[in-house]
Structure 1
Amino acid sequence: MMTGQRAQTVELRVLETSDLHTHALGYDYYQDKPTGEFGLEYTASLIGAARAEKKNVLLFDNGDLIQGNPLGDYVARVQPLKAGEVHPMLRAMQGLKYDAWTLGNHEFNYGLDYLDRVLKASPFPVVNANVLNMDGSNRFTPYLIQRRVMTDSEGRPAVVNVGIIGFTPPQILQWDKASLEGKVKVMDVLEAANRFVPQMKAKGADVIVALNHAGIDRGEYMVGQEQTGASLTKVPGIDVVLTGHSHLEFPSATYKDVAGADIARGTINGKPVAMPGFWGNNLGVLDLKLSYDPRSRKWSVTDSVSALRPIWDKANKKSLVQPDPTVAAAVKAQHEGTLTYVRGKVADLSAPINSYWALVQDDPSVQLVSNAQIAYVGNALKDTPYKDLPVLSAAAPFKAGGRSGASYYTDIPAGTLAIKNVADLYVYPNTVQAVLVNGAGVQEWLERSAGQFKQIDPAKTEPQALVDESFPTYNFDVLDGVTYEIDVTQPSRYGADGQLANPNARRIKNLQYQGKPIDPAGQFVIATNNYRASGGGKFPGLDGKNIILQAPDETRQALISYFQDQKTVNPSADNNWQLTPVPGATLLIVSSPNAQKYLPAGATLLKTRDDGFAEYTLKF
């Protein structure tokens, strides 16, 4: 019998990947070697196993798909996709029978023309409901309703209309301002959901799955906010919320304090939710029980549970599954082209570069980026009214472990400095920009950056964790061209949201320019990137209005040119900043086990953890 004649029950499994960032393979292009810790080729094996367990399965990707490693750069910049050519990630996913995907914020990094080319050739549909044309019409297909003939618990056919809707963070207008300004507008996520979900229900959607490229929010909702996963579960009509963006995991203890969260069942406010980490390291598996009431002729979700399935055993450091060879076959040509590209020589390197201690002391991996940015901006402004102003540089340690795992550090051996190493130093396709800031603004910029650290109690003798792991290391800007100290006994002046939290607190001490206290009214040019200059990271005084240089070149190209001019790169830090000593205190630092090869003064290895990280103590 078909739906509509009697009660039916259907078990529906929804599978999710998110934040793959072009990691089709378990291959680290920066270290130029294979790994089993990530890669769609491994996730694909989990997908196959999960499909085999259930009769009714849907598979979705939640965005941040086409950017994130040298493979993504290769097909966007080096050997750009031709019109009609399928992106290698999408070609690999086509073989896995994805049902739909949505756009993450990084889909916009290469510009709208490239994104349009990718989407036009996509072999399966993409949805996004909150990015609009300037006239208010939807830039992309806001939602789909797919008619599915499923098999019910008694082996009978059952028709279920599955609605699929997608969202991306409104902040893309800041993060990719140069390529999006004047071309698109972005709606608040909940506003878009409340506009389109009723339409979907009116058109017959029985079950609605939200592909929400955002993290899971906490607290009171604010219009336009970035993380929206929990709030979206409260929208009537949405049955499933797939999240991502934060590179974290749900269900997990990370979100145990979110209101309405049931970690054991993987639900928030009774709705199944998943967030499967990043780069394919987990598969989100959401199992729903659908019940059909013949009287109302409606389906409803009467039970659900969600869980994550990992590809890597962190404790024993081994793969849990074998790779699916169809993925490697699908990307073979572009993978080989990428290897040739990343192995190209840029310069000679006289000493190793690593980022193991970049959150504790001035670091060459950050210094080199700043040196290149200062050289680039100084040259670009030499014939402008800003030519006589001092040029500072803001750069952050992008690869410093944290939520990306114990292997996520820069570690470049002496010898040949290749393209892959430049991409390792600077992992994002940002462009060079410069902003005009006064001395007081320099202080506030650094105060926001100093939120990287927890407050240390000088009266305690037991080890105290120094780094706030909830603070992304890409927001720990080091400002070169000035000298300063960071006093971690003080509370952070700014909260996690970038708002002033402790007005009387000052962590930045002895801020000087050319050996003298910085003039609060003095004018400075700060070399940075398009993300930061346009407001990314919620730094005070940065909203895109004080940009004086919007360069066409990517920061990585500025690095390449700088290194090529040098011919031999001598990595060293000028030690322009330091943590203010806390006599008697013991700081607890988490880094890679490899960091013990480069121990700073006062640091001691404490232990190696099951998650692959190592703990160190640091005394001043």
Structure 2
Amino acid sequence: MKSQFSKCTLALSLALLASANAGIIHANEVTTEQPSQPSTSLETSPSISETSNPSSSTTATETTETSQPSTETTAVTSPSTEAATAEITPQALTETSQPVEGQSVDVRILATTDLHTNLVNYDYYQDKPVETLGLAKTAVLIEEAKQENPNVIMVDNGDTIQGTPLGNYKSIVDPIEEGEQHPMYAALGTLGFDAGTLGNHEFNYGLDYLRKVIATAGMPLVNANVINPTTQDFAYQPYTIIQKQFTDTAGKTVNLNVGITGIVPPQILNWDKAYLEGKVIVRDAVEAVRDIVPVIREKGADIVLVLSHSGIGDDQYEVGEENVGYQIASLAGVDAVITGHSHAEFPGTAAKPSFYAKYAGVDDTTGKINGTPVTMAGKYGDHLGVIDLSLTYTDGKWTTTASKAAIRKIDTKSSVADSRIVDLAQEAHNETIKYVRQQVGVTTAPINSFFALVQDDPSVQIVNNAQIWYAKQQLAGTPEANLPILSAAAPFKAGTRGDASAYTDIPAGPIAIKNVADLYLYDNVAAILKINGAQLKEWLEMSAGQFNQIDPQATEPQNLINTDFRTYNFDVIDGVTYQYDITQPNKYDRSGKLVNESASRVRNLQYMGQAVTADQEFIVVTNNYRTNGTFPGVREASLNRLLNLENRQAIINYIIAEKVINPTADNNWTFTNSIKGLDLRFLTADRAKGLIGNQESIIYLQASTANEGFGEFRFVYTEPKPIQLTPNTDQTIILSSGQRVTLPADTPAPSTSKQTLPNTGETQSILSLIGLTLIGFVGKWSKKKEH
């Protein structure tokens, strides 16, 4: 990937820019708006509560240039080649709005990022209203910020249409049709957003679905680094120039041309390979922005704003990197940058500095990176990005004389939400709730993830059970069916990024679709790898980065969990047993780079009670994100193939087939006794203190004073009870207590004819195979047709 981007020539860059027909203009005349009357929060019933009518708010918009994406799904047509040229230059402005030397204007940029279909303040996994997320809550901050300065530009930074059951409902169960506007963009349009960009998750449902979304978005969705491989042209509108009418510091009207462009991580080619391979290519994000900014300036933009659906990253740069917000903010000609993707926050506060404050050129107080204001406004609408620019017209152009960036957190103690968004969301919200409440089976034990980072966990166990069950069906009759089938899954909700509400908590009893969505957050597709024992060990060495290195001689408390390590990279591999010696250093850093070549944390790696040999072969079922990543061990796999279903759908099918499931963890991974007697501490949700029961290894200490909603716990090493894996057909695990835990059901009888692995992920839509077993599916379609 990186070598491919490093070979991009200047000739290609010039060709791309020439094909842009750089007059992509979106004219927007803005009138001063009055804020809507906020409503109270959602009620506990499935319906959104009745709200008062908002006050009127109008924005007159004239599009001088439009584009209609191609209806083809096998190739992407550039809107830039279809659009009429319409430049906005200072000479085209009226005399009353023509800027004059020394004139000053204060401009405010308001930005959302990573909304992930959190349209209203409702947690569909827990099936209840919450006050910690939702665009309906963010909208309250937006109106407050506009009252402070009505000279606003409003933008969304992508990852907008995926992420909750509402996103799944509108893409799979009741997908938007031609000409239908996605409810997320209906909401953004209602709030007066000017433009947006595409995040990596916009590609999760395929190019044809994305085409429908873009066609009805009601605003430009810009991207400058996704390219049509056939025409070498931009696949999407690379930029827009929006003419805004503002009031200067003297009270006079002035027109300002705002150029906006955006990028997405090149890694979408890996993450959504099944949809994108051969259909698009993706340029390095930094190179794409560097090349497009001069074009935007040449075509009349007074300021340039970059919507970077990329993390800030660090101050080191390699071509093709995923997170390059730092580098984009350092480019000439860029006035402000909106970042996201990482679900982190920038800038920080005095009480809680941002992760990025340690890098050279980062001002965590004013929110600048190498002098350019930057925001990263968290996730799910929990923050609003606010950038203030003071501009002065000097020597025939607008120049930034002062700037600052900040993020504002929604009021999590208040039930106030914007009535316009609540009303608009009513139908999609109610139908989503009906969908997620459909029962698929029964669990005999609770499924929660409060202790998933310190011991084997039921929330991971059930995913691995389902994945093995599904893989055995898919591989029946193939040569690979004769190999040991393992499964890799990670705890997706384990206090993610300091969020004490981000845990799976499903009680024993009926299990519904909402619970499965809570177990498996992402729209990943199941995939298999063939690896050997040596590669399996390296995979686990990478996962071992979840733990800090522990000093076996220390008597003071030590933190067990490495909070810089992403929990979704802590893969638990079922079907083998192993231990971690965390007194040893990590072999790999959090990005998979080798840092301690001779280090070895993984001990006693066994299959069916026998030591795993370096050349022993295994099939591991996982997801497309992992198989196309850079994990050690994974990247050397000799076979890498997509299967037919989303992982989430495979879990639903498994539960439906089994009817009653037992998610009890089999404790196939533990720590070595090298930490025996040490005082090891970790944080999890404070409410987990009531779930410890008779566990000897976990002790509750106190509520955390530094992390709201968390509690401090002690992990006490206890000798693991031996488990016995018996090589029978149903992979029964016999615990030391004598309990028999059956993993997947028996493999279907092999066909008499030799088969090969399913050949998927090419021309057919994977998501067309999804949802056929969803309870109530037919009824949902019938309802759609009635509309």
Q: Same fold (TM over 0.5)?
A: yes
Match of 1:177 among 273, 278, 293: 273
Deviations 1:435-489 (A, max 9, x none): 1000101000100111111111111111111111121111100000100001111
Between the aligned partners of 1:268 and 1:63, the Cα distance in structure 2 is 21
Tell me by how many angstroms 1:16 deviates: 0.7
Identify the match of residue 691 of structure 2 among 587, 595, 598. Answer: 598
1:251 and 2:342 matched? no
**Deviates further, 248-257 or 2-11:** 2-11
1:300 aligns with 2:399: yes
Question: Would you say the 8 A contact 1:586–1:619 is kept in 2?
Answer: yes
Residue number among 2, 16, 30 corresponding to 2:125 in the alignment: 30
Residue 90 of structure 1 aligns to a residue whose secondary structure is helix
1:519 and 2:613 are equivalent in the alignment: yes
> Could you tell me which residue of structure 2 aligns to residue 417 of structure 1?
511
The correspondence for 2:710, drawn from 593, 613, 620, is: 613
What is residue 584 of structure 2 aligned with on the other side?
490
User: 1:527, 1:2 → 2: CA distance?
Assistant: 62
Q: Which residue in 2 is equivalent to 1:70? A: 165
Q: Distance in 1 between matches of 2:209 and 2:680?
A: 47
CA distance in 1, matches of 2:448, 2:598: 36
- In 2, the alpha carbon distance for the partners of 1:544 and 1:377 equals 21
For the pair 1:144 / 2:260, whether they are aligned, the reply is no
Same amino acid, percent of matched pairs: 49
Take 1:549 and 1:60, find their aligned partners in 2: how far apart are those partners? 38
Q: CA deviation at 1:541?
A: 3.8
Q: Which amino acid aligns with 1:289?
A: S
**Distance change >3 Å, CA 544–CA 245, structure 1 → 2:** farther
Letter aligned with residue 28 of structure 1: D
Pick aligned residue for 1:560 from 609, 630, 652: 652
DSSP 3-state at the match of 2:318:
coil
In structure 2, the CA distance between the partners of 1:545 and 1:506, relative to structure 1 (3 Å rule), is: closer
Distance apart, 1:552 and its partner CA: 2.0
Other-structure match for 2:410 = 311
Q: How many residues align?
A: 611
What per-residue deviation string (whole Å, max 9, x for no partner) do you get for residues 508-546 of structure 1? 0000011011011011000001111111xx202434974
Note the 1:72-221 alignment, pairs <5 A.
72-135=167-230, 136-221=232-317
Indicate the residue corresponding to 2:662 in structure 1: 570
Q: Is the 8 A contact 1:433 1:547 kept in 2?
A: no
Structure 1 Cα separation of the partners of residues 150 and 651 of structure 2: 52
Does residue 463 of structure 2 align to residue 366 of structure 1?
no
Name the SS of the counterpart of 2:132 in structure 1: coil
Query: Could you list the per-position Cα deviations for residues 417-441 of structure 1 after superposition, in whole angstroms to 9, with x for gaps in the alignment?
Result: 0000011111111111101000101
Structure 2 residue aligned with 1:2: 97
- In 2, the alpha carbon distance for the partners of 1:378 and 1:525 equals 10
**Alignment equivalent of 1:264, drawn from 365, 381, 385:** 365
- Deviations along 1:204-228, one digit per CA (max 9) or x if unpaired, are 2110000001111213211011111
Higher alpha-carbon deviation: 13-22 or 1-10: 1-10
Q: Distance in 1 between matches of 2:241 and 2:636?
A: 39
Q: Distance in 1 between the 2:563 and 2:640 partners? A: 33
Alignment-mate amino acid for residue 278 of structure 2: G
Query: How far apart, in 2, do the equivalents of 1:370 and 1:85 lie?
Result: 38
| Mapped contact 1:170–1:187 kept (Cα < 8 A) | yes
SS at match of 2:145: helix
- Structure 2 counterpart of 1:439, from 504, 525, 533: 533
Is the aligned partner of 1:381 residue 2:512?
A: no
Contact 1:15 1:283 in 2 (8 A): yes
Deviation at 1:548, TM superposition (A): 4.5
Query: In the superposition, relative to structure 1, how do residues 36 and 614 fare at CA in structure 2: closer, same or farther (>3 Å)?
Result: same
Asked whether the 8 Å contact 2:306–2:337 carries over to 1, the reply is yes
1:240 aligns to what?
336
TM-score w.r.t. the length of structure 1 is: 0.97
Deviation digits for residues 325-364 of structure 1 (CA, Å, limit 9, x no counterpart): 1111111111111011000010012221100001111111
Asked if 1:530 corresponds to 2:624, the answer is yes
Alignment of 1:533-544 (within 5 A): 533-535=627-629, 538-543=630-635
Greater Rg, structure 1 or structure 2?
A: 2
Alpha-carbon displacement from aligned partner over 1:142-190 (angstroms, at most 9, x marks no partner): 1111122211100112221111010111111111111111111000011
CA contact (8 A) 1:534 1:544 kept: no
1:50 & 1:510 partners in 2: Cα distance?
A: 58
Counterpart amino acid of residue 654 in structure 2 = Y
The TM-score with structure 2 as length reference comes to 0.76
C-alpha distance after superposition, 1:228-263 (max 9, x if no partner): 111111111001011111111100112211211111
For the residues of structure 1 that align with 2:425 and 2:638, how far apart are their CA atoms? 42
- SS of 2:487's equivalent? strand
More strand by share: 1
Question: What amino acid does structure 2 have at the position aligned with 1:387?
Answer: A
CA distance in 2, matches of 1:456, 1:176: 38
User: 2: CA distance between counterparts of 1:591 and 1:144?
Assistant: 45
Letter in 1 for 2:347: P
| Superposed displacement of residue 305, structure 1 | 1.1
Write the mapping of 1:331-410 to structure 2, written as runs, cut at 5 A: 331-403=425-497, 405-410=499-504
**Equivalent-residue separation in structure 1 for 2:252 and 2:302 (angstroms):** 18
Assess if the C-alpha contact under 8 Å between 1:247 and 1:404 holds in 2: no
Check if 1:589 corresponds to 2:690: no
What is the Cα deviation at residue 55 of structure 1? 2.8
Amino acid of the structure 2 residue aligned with 1:199: V
Aligned to 1:227: 323
Q: What secondary structure, in the 3-state scheme, does the structure 2 residue paired with 1:591 have?
A: strand
Q: Which residue of 1 aligns with 2:378?
A: 277
**2: CA distance between counterparts of 1:209 and 1:298?**
16
Check conservation: 1:402, 1:469, Cα contact below 8 A. Answer: no
CA distance in 2, matches of 1:6, 1:524: 72
Following the alignment from structure 1 to structure 2, what is the Cα–Cα distance between the partners of residues 48 and 115?
29
2:335 and 2:373 in contact (8 A); partners too:
yes
Contact persistence 1:213–1:244 (CA under 8 A): yes
The separation in 1 between residues aligned to 2:585 and 2:441, in whole angstroms, is 43
Q: Which residue of 1 aligns with 2:542?
A: 448
Query: How far, CA to CA, are the matches of 1:191 and 1:48 in structure 2?
Result: 36
Contact 1:533 1:547 in 2 (8 A): no
1:584 Cα deviation after fit: 2.7
Structure 1 CA distance, aligned partners of 2:179 and 2:359?
44
CA contact (8 A) 2:223 2:261 kept: yes
Which one-letter code corresponds to 2:463 in the other structure?
A: V
| One-letter code aligned to 1:585 | L
SS at match of 1:387: helix
Kindly provide the amino acid, as one letter, of the partner of residue 383 in structure 2.
N
Counterpart contact for 1:272–1:286, Cα < 8 Å: yes
Aligned partners of 1:434 and 1:529 also within 8 Å: yes
